[in-house]
Amino acid sequence: MAGKLPPEKLERYVLSRCGVVDGSVIVGGGIGIDSAIIDLGNGLMLAMHSDPITGAVELLGWLAVNVVSNDIAVVGAKPRWLLSVLYLPEDLPDSVLDAITVQIDEAAKELGVTVIGGHTEYTPGLPRPMITMTGVGIVVKNGPTLPSGARAGDAVIVTKSVGLEGTAILATDFSETLRVKGVPQSIIESSRRFIKMVSVVRDALTLAEAGLATAMHDPTEGGLLGGLAEIAYASRKTIEVWEELIPIAEETAAVCRALGIDPLKLISSGTLVATVPFERVGEAIELLSSRGIEARIVGRVREQSGSLVALHRREGIVETVDRPYVRDELFRLWEAKDHH
């Protein structure tokens, strides 16, 4: 089964085996934790994170840079340095490697970050190229924003629309399937352009530098519902959201309808989820808007009440998420494709 380890396996086999305790580690590994935070003294803190990109092919390099940079930014740190590890099928044409590294270079230049090292190899048995990218950033003046910081009464806001990354991947790697299912070429082409929207660095740093967010998250695997569940788990709260308030682009809706998938469970880099004190949510939305970033309220943070997320669906039912793990729709499609 592709995707993240279930929480119980992660706790048992990974998070319980982390070597010696280091007092300079303010935040270490954990469920729903975007980046580790290290105190170097003299007011300097670093954020560090590693992210694999295994569910995309044509957009691999661009996503690798942006996704890890997002995870640095949502803890209130400015991304600065990257290390890339590329795993390549043994028969991979040089043209594909060329395309991946051009994407890495272009994305890094756009964000103002530097690739300082890594490793590249041909790996036996791989069905497609994969990347693990490590990012390092410097925490901004207000200190780190932790995913455990959401407070009861906070408003939950999202920027842009959900499923942006997943929509771009599906329109690129599953384009023929979408055409067969009757999705217009114009929708497929427009969906591919969503790849240019997967960064939340500006979104996150805008809120962090103004001290407006109590918690932020980049909802990657598991989509919006997975991201909300991870914030709720880390903060020991319940997050209540309403489907009718959640922004979903026309292209995302069309692609998801054709493939029979839920856009709220589709990998969603490009969408920032933030919890904001209710009395300051207008200020936060106005500040983001002044920088060309659309945001809207989709729910509230409540005291913990049994589930992590309570989603009010349009048809009136309440769907709950009870653990910090949501199976991403993209991996389900890739498994089906790989088995054919």
What pLDDT is attached to residue 190?
A: 97
CATH of the domain at 118: 3.30.1330.10
Q: Which of 164, 173, 156, 129 is nearest to 267 (CA)?
A: 164
Average pLDDT (187-206) is: 95
**Beta-bridge mates of residue 102:** none
What pLDDT is attached to residue 125?
A: 93
The strands making up 295-303's β-sheet, listed across from edge to edge, are 215-217, 273-276, 155-159, 295-303, 237-242, 309-312, 318-321
Instruction: Note whether 78 and 125 are same-domain residues.
Output: yes
Q: Is the pLDDT of residue 338 over 60?
A: no
Instruction: Note whether 84 and 163 are same-domain residues.
Output: no
Instruction: Note whether 217 and 77 are same-domain residues.
Output: no
What pLDDT is attached to residue 232?
A: 96
Residue 259 DSSP SS3? helix
Tens digits of per-residue pLDDT, 297-333? 999 999 999 899 999 999 999 999 998 888 888 878 8
What pLDDT is attached to residue 339?
A: 47
CATH of the domain at 152: 3.90.650.10
Instruction: Note whether 233 and 308 are same-domain residues.
Output: yes
Instruction: Note whether 191 and 302 are same-domain residues.
Output: yes
Average pLDDT (10-29) is: 91
Q: Is the pLDDT of residue 42 over 90?
A: no
Domain stops at, among 139, 173, 202? 139
* Token pair recorded at residue 264: 């709220």
Specify if 51 maps to a domain. Answer: yes
Phi first, then psi, for residue 260 (nearest 5°) are 70, 40
Q: Which of 128, 136, 130 is nearest to 108 (CA)?
A: 136
What pLDDT is attached to residue 221?
A: 86
C-beta neighbour count of 27 within 10 angstroms: 20
Summary count for the chain: helices (H), strands (E): 11, 13
Three-point CA angle 52, 47, 123, nearest 5°? 25
Specify if 16 maps to a domain. Answer: no
What pLDDT is attached to residue 58?
A: 82
Average pLDDT, the chain: 93
Specify if 135 maps to a domain. Answer: yes
What pLDDT is attached to residue 337?
A: 63
Domain stops at, among 88, 106, 139? 139
Instruction: Read off the pLDDT band of 29 (50, 70, 90).
Output: confident
Q: Is the pLDDT of residue 111 over 60?
A: yes
Specify if 281 maps to a domain. Answer: yes
Show Cβ contacts of residue 105 under 8 Å, excluding neighbours closer than 6 positions. 115
Tens digits of per-residue pLDDT, 52-73? 988 677 889 998 999 999 999 9
- Of 135 and 324, the structure prediction assigns the larger pLDDT to 135
Specify if 151 maps to a domain. Answer: yes
Specify if 13 maps to a domain. Answer: no
List the domain range (segments joined by +) for residue 200. 147-338
Instruction: Note whether 262 and 307 are same-domain residues.
Output: yes
Show Cβ contacts of residue 260 under 8 Å, excluding neighbours closer than 6 positions. none
pTM over 0.85: yes
- What is the DSSP-derived secondary structure letter of residue 197? G
Q: Which of 69, 88, 89, 71 is nearest to 80 (CA)?
A: 69
Specify if 39 maps to a domain. Answer: yes
Instruction: Note whether 110 and 157 are same-domain residues.
Output: no
Alpha carbon of residue 51 to chain centroid = 10
Specify if 124 maps to a domain. Answer: yes
Tens digits of per-residue pLDDT, 256-271? 999 999 999 999 999 9
Q: Is the pLDDT of residue 82 over 50?
A: yes
Tens digits of per-residue pLDDT, 270-301? 999 999 999 999 999 999 999 999 999 999 99
Alpha carbon of residue 245 to chain centroid = 20
Q: How many domains does the chain have?
A: 2
